[in-house]
Amino acid sequence: MSSERIARQFAFIIEADRLKEVFRQTLLTQSRRPENDAEHSWHLCLMVLVLAEHSNVPVDVLRVLKMLVIHDLVEIDAGDTYAYDTAGMVDQHARECIAAERIFGLLPPDQAADFRAVWDEFEARQTPEAKFAAALDRVHPMLLNILTQGQKWREHGVTLPKVIARNQHAADGAAAVWQHALKLVNQAVADGHLPAK
């Protein structure tokens, strides 16, 4: 194994440390500080291990994990785009593609191509693995919003119809998980944490 290869691998691993300082619009359940992308990615991996049985179709769990470990790395350069920021979403994919070139490009070429293919698959949301990964990626912030009494939803003027419109594609990957999340969201509406309209 060449020492140049392992040096490139370490350079990529070191660069990834920055993901711990890209903050999201969700709050942690305890301290209520904003969550960062690295924590979010870890929590999604845990959700895969626990909830894989609820995928609409059987999935390659390793590939789902691989997608979720790397899915937000592009945000080191492109920043986090809020799920309800329709303006930011216009050029989001273009910005993230440029970031993917640079960040995955730190790896040895064979791994750069492999990681890019996994990220492209996640983004395209066509395979069962990508649909299941996307389902968890949508349900996770909903769950944190519910557990923090909808504080961030209210700050951003988010309503129940917006939550449903933005997240219901989760049902394409894991209908049972989406149904459970919907039950919790309806409770949040009943509790006055999310406006019904």
- Told to check if 189 binds a copy of itself by CB under 8 A, we report no
Q: What is the 3-state secondary structure (H, E, C) of 140-183?
A: HHHHHHHHCCCHHHHHCCCCHHHHHHHHCCHHHHCHHHHHHHHH
DSSP 82: P
Residue 144 · residue 47 · CB < 8 Å? no
Tell the residue number behind the tokens 């303006």, with chain if given. 87
CA dist 37 and 63 (Å) reads 19
How far is 71 from 51, CA to CA, in rounded Å? Answer: 19
Of the two residues 45 and 99, which places its CB atom closer to a copy of itself in the complex? 45
Nearer to a copy of itself, 65 or 89 (CB): 65
Residues 78-117: x where in contact with a copy of itself by CB under 8 A, - otherwise, as a string: -----------------------------x---x---x--
42 binds a copy of itself (CB under 8 A): yes
Question: Could you say whether residue 51 binds a copy of itself (CB under 8 A)?
Answer: yes
Q: Indicate which single residue of 59, 69, 74, 78 sits in contact with a copy of itself (rule: CB under 8 A).
A: 69
Question: Both tokens of residue 64?
Answer: 């789902």
Site residues (CB under 8 A) for a copy of itself? 1, 3, 6-7, 9-10, 12-14, 16-21, 28-31, 35-36, 38-39, 41-43, 45-47, 49-51, 53-54, 61-62, 65-66, 69-70, 107, 111, 115, 143-144, 147, 176-177, 180, 184
